[in-house]
Amino acid sequence: MSTLDIIFSIFGGLGLFLLGIKLMEDGMHQFAGEYLKRIMSILTKNRWASLLAGVILTTITQSSSATTSMVVGFVNAGFTTVANTLGFMLGANIGTTTTGQLMSFKLDIYALLILGIGVVLYLFHSRHEKIRNAGLSFTGLGMLLFGMVVMKQSIIPIQQSGIIEQWFLYCNSATLTSMLIGLAVGIVGAALIHSGAAVGILITLAATGAIKNIEDVVPIIAGCEIGTCTAVVLASLRTTRTAKKAALAHVLFNTIGSLFVLVTMSTWVYVVRWIDTDIIRQIANLHTLSSLIKCALFLPILPLANRALNWILPDKIETTVDLIAKYKTFARSENLNKESLDTPSLALLQTHKEIGVMILVIMKMITCIQQALLQGQDDKILKVKHYEEIVDNIKHDIRDYMTLLSRHQVSAKQSIEIAAILEGASELERVGDHVESMIKYVNLAKEKTMVLDDNNRSRIEAIMARCIELAVTIQECVGNSAQDVSKVTLLIKQLEKDIKTARDYYMGCLKSGSWNVLSDMSFSEFITIMEKFVRHCRSFTGKYLKQLHEIEMKRHRLVKKEEISQQSRGERK
């Protein structure tokens, strides 16, 4: 085999190997996607349940980078807290080692069989989404194993020349310099691919005889554990301070744990040699053992670790200035994270949080109008204009984000949810426009063109207070989709009644001649804007809140049906 043939074969085998890992991840990710929220709900229980969730979910998706990035997204969306995710981070490190364990059992002789089964399942079951996703995972596994075969055959001639063994002398654990080089190689390798793939390459080299001593790869494996944090750090760059804490926890756990393994490696080398004499199994076992050591180190002190994270990154109270600065330009939202688009359920959860932000901003707008109109705080008018720009920008962000999400593989239920989000965001933008248009009547009241007597002032004050109460209730429903929307509907009816009563009063004053015509026309226009405001709130409730509630109720009924089915099967057994 010529040098050029060897180079081509190595690159081709590596390409098959990495593509196989990607396909296997995508298949399992899509297979488990609609259950992610249910699995993640385990996080709210205790550290052991959280650890188990991390192991299971990462074993399914075969990527700790993907699952930990997902956790950062869930924290960012407010679905869980940092304290509840710490155990998950440790479990994710254990789950990702299953890739290396799978490769170490020498399944490469079945590579083409597994690949063939996967292709058949994927191509001939187009109507069954779960079977197609399982087929995609099998195709990825077969491609991964076949890539190992190609690389192994290509590396043998190089291994016979002794070049690879010589190279490992520069990154083994013999000296501090070589140890640091090995650590750097592992960090870069895992950052470019991921730790499971990097360890898989080490296993492939060991299968050719290029690696003979486990000591030669300990620094590289430790570096892989640190390098896998790169994806999480990148995913947390445009997130909230709380989500950054979760990413920092992952970095600290992996860095401190890996350095501890490296410093005390003589003990762990002895353990893996005692378990198995095969160098391939030793590499896979050391990768798993390293993650178990991290669990033993940090799981007992997770509450202390959470306090340390709060000390390093204390919570920041967001002021009005911060909110305006954050949403000043397009593509600035911390909630709409592009890394989450590969997980539609997470992307939708983050978008719902952004809808909640829109409602919060509209609530601030109403409060400012109330203070400017009834209390004479003129400085609030400028804030209303700023807030309206924020609402418009968020709406554009949501539209662009949902457009990107729709290009990914989403289920029929998720497509309905996307449509509801787009319609809901549009309705909220119109609500914001109507609130901004109230500024005109604030100025008219200031100029005494629109006169407010005690009777009218109390009516307007009651209506504005009801509007704020409505916004608060809508936000609660957005935060909890299982909550009944009947309270929102009742508030809208009460608000419509209050506005109608105010209009009838003004028309009565006009007919009796007790009001200035110009002043009364201004009141009439103001009431018309309030009617439009309520109309779009009702439309938002129908197009978004009720749709969201129905989707959540269907999901609950499905879970209940599955639980009853499992109980009946257990009773029959």
At 405-420, the pLDDT tens digits run 888 877 777 888 888 8
**Fold for the domain defined by 322-562:** Methane Monooxygenase Hydroxylase; Chain G, domain 1 (1.20.58)
Band of residue 426 on the pLDDT scale cut at 50, 70, 90: very high
Q: Where are the domains of the chain?
A: 3-312, 322-562
Residue 518 confidence (pLDDT) above 50? no
| Mean pLDDT on 191-200 | 70
Tokens 């009516």 -> residue: 459
CA 293 to chain centre: 27
Band of residue 562 on the pLDDT scale cut at 50, 70, 90: low
CB distance 17 to 197 below 8 Å = yes
| Mean pLDDT on 353-359 | 87
Residue 161 confidence (pLDDT) above 70? no
Predicted local distance difference test score (pLDDT) of residue 485: 79
Predicted local distance difference test score (pLDDT) of residue 517: 45
What is the spatial distance between Cα 312 and Cα 305, in angstroms, rounded to a whole number? Answer: 10
Residue 92 confidence (pLDDT) above 80? yes
The answer for residues whose C-beta is within 8 angstroms of residue 208's C-beta and 6 or more apart is: 152, 155, 156, 159
| Mean pLDDT on 289-308 | 89
Q: For residue range 449-475, what is the model confidence (pLDDT) as tens digits?
A: 565 666 777 778 888 888 888 888 888
Query: How many residues in the chain?
Result: 573
**Arithmetic mean of pLDDT over the chain:** 78
| % residues pLDDT > 70 (the chain) | 79
CA distances from 255 to 64, 128, 241, 300, 511 (A): 15, 42, 21, 18, 78
pTM > 0.75: no
Band of residue 368 on the pLDDT scale cut at 50, 70, 90: confident
Residue 440 confidence (pLDDT) above 50? yes
Predicted local distance difference test score (pLDDT) of residue 329: 45
Predicted local distance difference test score (pLDDT) of residue 331: 41
Which has the closest alpha carbon to 346: 61, 139, 46? 61
Predicted local distance difference test score (pLDDT) of residue 293: 92
Q: Phi first, then psi: give them for residue 420, nearest 5 degrees.
A: -65, -40
Is 334 or 109 the better-scoring residue by pLDDT? 109
The answer for residues whose C-beta is within 8 angstroms of residue 88's C-beta and 6 or more apart is: 43, 50, 51, 53, 54, 57, 67, 68, 71
| Mean pLDDT on 359-363 | 89
Predicted local distance difference test score (pLDDT) of residue 32: 61
Rg (CA), the chain: 30
CA distances from 101 to 11, 164, 284 (A): 23, 23, 5
Predicted local distance difference test score (pLDDT) of residue 569: 59
Is 497 or 333 the better-scoring residue by pLDDT? 497
Q: For residue range 308-343, what is the model confidence (pLDDT) as tens digits?
A: 888 888 876 555 555 555 554 444 556 677 777 777
Band of residue 256 on the pLDDT scale cut at 50, 70, 90: very high
Is 227 or 71 the better-scoring residue by pLDDT? 227
| Mean pLDDT on 498-509 | 77
Q: What are the structure tokens assigned to 338, written together?
A: 């592009």
| % residues pLDDT > 90 (the chain) | 3
User: CB count, 10 Å around CB of 52?
Assistant: 18
Band of residue 128 on the pLDDT scale cut at 50, 70, 90: confident
Predicted local distance difference test score (pLDDT) of residue 463: 85
Q: For residue range 1-28, what is the model confidence (pLDDT) as tens digits?
A: 677 877 788 788 878 877 887 787 777 7
What is the spatial distance between Cα 339 and Cα 352, in angstroms, rounded to a whole number? Answer: 16
Is 144 or 520 the better-scoring residue by pLDDT? 144
